[in-house]
Structure 1
Amino acid sequence: MDVDRTEQHARFYGDDGSIIWESDVVTGQPNKGHDTPAGVWSITSREHGDINLRGPVGDDGEPEWDSHVQYWMGVVGSAVGFHNAPWRSQFGGNIYTWYGSHGCINLSMEKADELYNVIQVGDVCIVHD
C-alpha cells in the first residue's frame, strides 16, 4: 500500500507490481497537528460492522470525536487507519488542508469496501509526501 499525502491518493499493489486498488483519500489536517504519520507501517487489523471510533477525552470529559464507520483497517496500531467517512462527499485534492482527518485515511464507502476485500493484516503500508 502506498499513501501519498501530497497527492491525497492511495494505491495498493499486487505482488507483480500492478495496481489492484486505488482511491483518492483525505488524510490528517496538518495545520491542526493531525498529520497522518509518515513512515513504513503494516496493516494491524481489519474490521467490518458497526465500528465506533472515539478520540481522546477532552477537558469536558467527552471524547473529541465519536464517529460510527463500517470499515476499519488499522495501520499505526489502533490509532490510525483506513476507514470509510460517511460525513464526507468528496475525497482527494486539498480538502485535507482545511477539513482533514485527525490522522486517519478517509475513504468513500465504496472504496473502503473494495480495500477491505483485498488487503490483509501484515500488508506493508508506506505513507509519504
Structure 2
Amino acid sequence: MATGTVRISRVDTSSFGWTVLVQVIEVDRVKIGRDRDLSRSFRRFEFGDFQGIKVSVVVFDDNVAIVDGRLLPFWKYYVSNAELREIPELVGTGLYSFYWVINEGTVIEEAAGSGELALPFYFELHSFQYFHFVADTNIFIS
C-alpha cells in the first residue's frame, strides 16, 4: 500500500481514495459519552506523519472493537478513507483543521519494515526550571 500515499495536510473533504502513512502517537482508553438517555462508547487516538502534522482520530461504538489491540502506540500504519469532520471553530485548530472518524469503510494496514522516512519525535520535553510557569495553571504536565 506504500505507493500513492499523501501527507495528512493534503487530506481534506475534496480528497477521494487517499492513503496516509501515520504513526500512532497517543491511544486513549475506551470512554462512554452520555447525552440524556443515549450513551455512546468511543476511543480517541492521535496520529502524526513524517512532516510533524498531527490529527485526532475517533472511533465510535461497534468500531471500537475492530481497532482494539490493533492500533498500537509508536507503530506505523497506512490509513485510507477515514471519514473527515471539520474541527468546530470554538475548539480552534492547529495546522490541520479536520479530525478523522474510523468506521467500517476505513482501511488500516500495518507498515512493517517499510523503507519510508522516519517519523519525527513527538514528545515535548521541557526543563525542570520552566515548570513554575505552569504550576498554577490547568496545563497538563507529562
TM-score, reference length from structure 1: 0.33
TM-score, reference length from structure 2: 0.30
Instruction: Kindly indicate whether structure 1 or structure 2 has the higher relative contact order, using CA contacts under 8 Å at least 6 residues apart.
Output: 1
Which entry has the higher C-alpha Rg, 1 or 2?
2
